[in-house]
Amino acid sequence: MPNVSSKIVRGAAWMVGLRLLQRSLGLISTVVLARLLLPEDFGLVAMALAFYALVELIGFLGFDAALIRKKAADRVHYDTAWTLGILLKGATALILYLSAPAVAAFYDEPRIREILYVFALVSLVGAFENIGIVNFRKELSFDQEFRFQLMKKLISVVATVALALYFRSYWALAFGMLASAIVGVLLSYVMHAYRPGFSLGAWREMLGFSVWMSIDHIISFIRERGSDFVVGKFLPAQALGAYRVGSELASLPTTQLYLPVMRAVFPGYAKIVDDPQALRSVYLSTQASIATIVLPVTVGLVLLAEPLVLLLLGPRWGEAVPLVRVLGLYGITRLLQGNRNALFVAKGKPSWLAALGLLEVTVMFPLIFYWLLNGGEVVMVGWAKVIASLVILPLGVYLVCSVVAMSGRDFLGTVWRPVLACGAMSLAVWLVGRSLDFAPDEGGAALALAALVPLGALVYLVALGAFWLVAGRPRGIEYSALALLGRWPRIAALVRRILPK
């Protein structure tokens, strides 16, 4: 088990590093595209993308998770997953092509039809990706996964920016997705020796586990992207464009640091799922690390949303500022619910995820419709998501505790120190930002970030260390960080005094 735990830690580091590089590339791409294109261009693609993502649910059954979880998977399982994927993605492409005129009529926007034709091709091309790359995660070979995903992202970003320079329109975003799909297929066969063949020999077994994964994926889509349909119907394209770009910025810490860790943790959970003590230990350490690292970044994003949006996207995107703040709060509520997705799937309980998601959307959408039908602005969609997430938070934590046989006090022990440290950081950043009163332009935004980001980081680290000492210096992420610093000769003596014997 120690070997698996160490591989999980290394895998999490690889995946976080990968996602940081991916998001850095994506952020650069978004900033460049925001300067080259108009909010309307993003809004048009977001309208088409919402329907594309909805139809794509037909082609998603979580076969990769089923293969990772099944320890005795052989060639027939891999080939069946690949074949079923092609059949389902082919159906997706056909539906996109046939439905394009009706979707354009729904939005009263004829340009969406051609965008959906491109998306149909994206779906069909992506179906042929080599199923063998699932083994990068199954065998905990995260360095290989890192190289594959990074090369795919790098080439697609370069292609999208080049297309934006050429088209100066929404076509850059649509054809950029197609380029990414083509690159992914080619790389998957270059980087993995497995060569899939057509087979349906294990279709019953594969579908048996994957049905609940599909249901959960559908509900997750409704929760995360279903509001796009409502916003696109009741508000102008500019509002939807601001909402989507604001969502992307707000999700940077919660989904782009949190999710890559989960990508590494899930195969690790699957290997130790029959060892309750090891599972509990790995879960608690993972949750503590996520809260300690991701929570302050998310809180900082909420605090500094205005200068961040102004500096990165420019003054035309002011409507995105309140969205980044509110959706950042939504990310905090999701983070504090515990990393339950990977845990529940590894334990064979994806139905629990579906039930929690269904409860959340049942609360969220009545609020969205009520506020938009009564003249509410797009930011109210974010508040609806925050409220719905808070409603299910206690139940989600309870189910996590039942799965890993721990108490609520154990769970709180993983988050109370970073939560209080974030409170101290927030107070310091708010007081200093208010007293300095930076100019409301791009120069002032740069100065604000240059002054307040280091201040917030320093206050957070000092406060976190103080709370760790108060807690009796437990062997958590703080201990590991100090032990790492202890390798530096000049500070080793100080570290030895702080660390418990």
Q: Are 165 and 44 in contact (CB under 8 A)?
A: no
pLDDT reading at 4 higher than 60: no
Q: Is residue 481 assigned to a domain?
A: no
- What is the model's pLDDT at position 182? 92
CA dist., res. 256 & res. 153, Å (int) = 14
The structural domain count of the chain equals 1
Residue 496 predicted with pLDDT over 70: no
Does any domain span residue 19? Answer: yes
Binned at pLDDT 50, 70 and 90, residue 419 comes out as: very high
With cut-offs at 50, 70 and 90, classify the pLDDT of residue 235: confident
Burial class of residue 166 (count of CB atoms within 10 Å of its CB; 0-12, 13-18, 19+)? exposed
Confidence of residue 426 (pLDDT cuts 50, 70, 90): very high
Domain containing residue 47: 2-470
Residue 486 lies in a domain: no
The whole-angstrom separation of Cα 45 and Cα 163 is: 15
How far is the C-alpha of 74 from the C-alpha of 90, rounded, in Å?
25
479 belongs to a structural domain: no
Residue 496 lies in a domain: no
CA distance linking residue 21 with residue 361, whole number of Å: 32
Contact predicate 345/61, CB 8 Å: no
Q: Taking the mean position of all CA atoms in its chain, how far away is CA 248?
A: 9
How high is the pLDDT of residue 325? 93
57 neighbors 214 (Cβ within 8 angstroms) = yes
Angle (nearest 5°) at CA 464 between 463 and 465: 90
Domain assignment of residue 396, yes or no? yes
State pTM to two decimals.
0.70
Whether residue 497 lies inside any domain: the answer is no
| Domain annotation covers residue 485 | no
pLDDT digits (tens, 9 = 90+) for 266-311: 777 877 877 888 888 888 888 888 889 889 999 999 999 999 888 8
